[in-house]
Amino acid sequence: MIKAVAWDIDGTLVDSEPLHLKSLILVCEKYDVDISDLPNEYFIGVNLPGVWKSLQKRFPAGLKFEEWAHQINNFYFINSSTLTTMPDASEVIKELQIMDILQVAVSNSNRLVVDINLAALGVSKIFNFSLSLDDVKIGKPDPTPYKIAAKKLGLKPYEILAVEDSISGIISAQKAELLVAAVNVRGNLAKSADFSITSLKEVLNLITKKR
């Protein structure tokens, strides 16, 4: 029986990837760093430390991660009014609340971005809690975020459905032994998710079947 849903946010509930990419590109341009050789989806599901690790050699030697990350998150904050939510996201969350399904957010983004995204959804008060990259020692694809979520919920991993759109997020949830619903995932997985869906509305069907 599924008793809770652990939602990824970026790309799953909020169409935030375009703004993340725009923020990254503009900050890179500030330092005359060109990342046009990388496909737009190159960093989907990758947290900022992971992005920095990939690009660090391209930046001036004196630039620190903290300064770089602050600029990216600040640009995201300033332009957050351009965010749009994924189809049916808010409606599905509210329907799950009516069904007494616990809900949490497990994100690979920093707290500032998580709070901005949840505000855009208008469902912050529905979630039992949210976990950001700032709340864990290591982010996805490590299982730590989902292990912490399961512990805080007081549930067995198999009682929780993680909904993810990225390979790193799916791997994280799988390693934590949660059930996983993959939403329009791009790329190949070493281990298939438990469910493959194309619409968030399908989450409601999965919950009903597993009750």
pLDDT for 5: 98
100-156: pLDDT as tens digits? 999 999 999 999 999 999 999 998 899 999 999 999 999 999 999 999 999 999 999
What residue has token string 């391209």? 58
Question: Structure pTM?
Answer: 0.90
175-195: pLDDT as tens digits? 999 999 999 887 777 778 999
Higher-pLDDT residue of 186, 198: 198
Question: Which residues are 129's β-sheet partners?
Answer: 104
44-61: pLDDT as tens digits? 888 899 999 999 999 999
Average per-residue pLDDT in the chain? Answer: 94
